[in-house]
Structure 1
Amino acid sequence: MTYRSGVKTGNWLEDLRLREDEMKEYQEEKERGELAFQKEDFFKQNLLRPVNLTGTTDGRLHFGDVVMLVNLGGENRECSAISINADLNSLIKTPLGIKAPCGVSAGRDIQACTRTAFVIESVDGSPEGSTLHYEQRFALKTTLSSARGLYLTSDWKSFQKCAKNSHLQEVNLDEDCSFLSWWKILHFDPQERLENDGQPVPANVKVLVIHYKTNQALAALGDQVIRTIFSKEYVVTAHTFLDSHKAEKDTNHWILCTSDPAGKELLLPTHPQSEANNQVLTQAKAP
């Protein structure tokens, strides 16, 4: 044998220095919190931070209320809520926020947190605390940070811009509160839509959320699933799905959920046409 077993051969010194540099770089990234698992923990910790929804006392929705947009599901869908769909590279630590534009999805984990809570914001000069009415335009803003709040936005689909998988009208989050961020609410029953026009919108009942510019209804697609950092979730789009009677399908039906007056328990009805909801609707119509 030319060398003994303990003799180092090859570029051992270069390999040793390379491993030392890699370890040094690893320690520096760990101290800055830039490792993948640290980013994921920080990401989930902030997006899943509990949020107190507005406690409704009169059964109506108001500007400034913090709500969740929940779809009760259907034949091929479970109950889901509109959620922020961002990746690890989208999170901004200082100030805390998310880079725009950012996607949305319908997550099946129904809990009031930063990822699922939205603020009803006035766009027509209505004061905060005033009642929201059917056909009245408004905006939906995230609660992640006042400095980095993003608005639910949509626009006509094109070859370059459309929803994933479905290729329908895209819905995402953007920094600007423009005409593309305006929405309105319609009664879910077309036969009662005209008589409810201009009436206060009751909380925790089934409604349609319509994009003001394109007149397309917000929808959660049960047959279109995307993978997020949290789980597999439904694609969200702005598209009106009609049945044989020219009425919107349950894909377009949403509940703007609030909490109880104490602000502790989420008011999520098991059946949107329950007697309790009908009583709330009657109270909302009262002057």
Structure 2
Amino acid sequence: MAAQNLYGPGVRMGNWNEDVYLEEERMRDFLDKREKGELLIQRNRRLKKNILRPMELSVTEDGFAHYGDKVILVNPDHPRGEEAGLFQEGDLSLCMSPDEVKAQISDELEVPCGVSAVRTTTPTGRNTFTILRDSTNSDAVDPVLRYGQNFCLGIPAGLECKTHRHLFLRTYFGKEVEVAAHTHLDSHRVEKPKNHWMLVTGNPRNKSTTMLDVPKPPSDDTRAVEQVMGINT
């Protein structure tokens, strides 16, 4: 005997009253969180807006880096070495990489946090660091960062870093390049390019760019050729 539907679509069955109350409670909870800005999508938007906001780097007048300067750390582009497989070319900047799970439940960046390298030299809240004194020279009065001095960064990160341009990791912002604290030396005991990091300051002619965007002056050979050709420089 075939089963028959003895009830019409408008008939309520089971704990229908509880289901209605639960649905209303979920809606009230949703509206309350939206009003307070506590929805997951709202948290994500605020966090990304904060750490991806444009930043202005410090402009140096004397050519030195100073304590308190805002800079970006850049691993300059270099040829592939012994790495095999995929290889990220271009200038890479050190960026903070928040924990994906913790970023979902907090509006603020939790420190210390991980770091990664990204192919960009545009200053943002994510890759802009402040040079700070460490405990060994906290009483010094010289504002200039000298060679060999220990220093700290406004966002915790290792200073003796290397880039694994052939190793990629999934971060809160997508696929990026791994950064590790290790020193690689060649046969002459010289650090390899993957260990080279530059402190980059702002462009005095355009505060939205960096010193990497300033055209390099022509070499002596170029000037000689231009003089022979009658080109004014």
TM-score, normalized by length of structure 1?
0.63
* Aligned counterpart in structure 2 of residue 235 of structure 1, from 178, 189, 213: 178
1:126 aligns with 2:130: no
- Counterpart position of 1:108: 119
Q: Contact 1:63 / 1:127 at 8 angstroms: preserved in 2?
A: no
Find the aligned partners of 2:32 and 2:126 in 1 and give their Cα distance.
Answer: 30
Q: Does 1:224 align with 2:167?
A: yes
Structure 2: gaps spanning 5 or more residues: 81-86, 220-233
Tell me the residue number matched to 1:213.
none
Q: How does 1:14-163 map to 2 (within 5 A)?
A: 14-74=18-78, 75=80, 76-78=87-89, 79-87=91-99, 89-90=102-103, 93=107, 97-123=108-134, 124=137, 125-127=139-141, 130-142=143-155, 151-152=156-157
Q: Are the aligned partners of 1:53 and 1:259 in contact in 2 as well (CA < 8 Å)? A: yes
Distance 1:255 1:108 in 2: 14
Aligned to 2:83: none
Q: 1:126: Cα distance to partner?
A: 2.7
Q: Shift of the alpha carbon at 1:11?
A: 2.4
Cα offsets for 1:136-192 (capped at 9, x unmatched): 1211113xxxxxxxx33xxxxxxxxxxxxxxxxxx4xxxxxxxxxxxxxxxxxxxxx
User: Is the contact between residue 69 and residue 256 of structure 1 (CA under 8 Å) also seen in structure 2?
Assistant: yes
What's the C-alpha RMSD, in Å, of the aligned pairs?
A: 2.6
Provide the C-alpha distance between the structure 1 equivalents of 2:29 and 2:36, rounded to a whole number of angstroms.
11
Structure 1 residues 215-249: Cα deviation after superposition (integer angstroms, max 9, x where no partner):
xx311211222112222111211101122333211
Amino acid aligned to 2:32: E
- Paired residue for 2:198, among 243, 252, 255? 255
Bigger shift: residues 25-34 or 74-83: 74-83
Deviation of 1:111 (Å): 1.6
For structure 1, list consecutive stretches of 5 or more residues without a partner in the other structure.
143-150, 153-170, 172-208, 210-216, 278-287
Matched with 2:212 is 268
Offset of residue 21 of structure 1 = 1.4
Q: Distance in 2 between matches of 1:253 and 1:270?
A: 20
Q: TM-score, normalised by structure 2?
A: 0.76
Aligned-pair CA distance for 1:86: 0.8
2:189 to 246, 251, 267: 246
- Contact 2:57/2:71, CA 8 A, preserved across alignment: yes
CA distance in 2, matches of 1:267, 1:232: 27
User: SS of the residue aligned with 1:98?
Assistant: coil
Figure out how many residues of one structure are paired with residues of the other and give that number: 201
Distance (whole Å) between structure 2 residues aligned to residue 116 and residue 276 of structure 1 = 30
Q: Which residue of the partner structure matches residue 179 of structure 1?
A: none
Q: Matched residues in 2 for 1:137 and 1:109: separation?
A: 26
Q: Which has the larger radius of gyration?
A: 2
1:83–1:107 contact (8 Å) kept in structure 2: yes
Aligned mates of 1:276, 1:54 — CA distance in 2 = 26
Corresponding residue number in structure 2 for 1:167: none
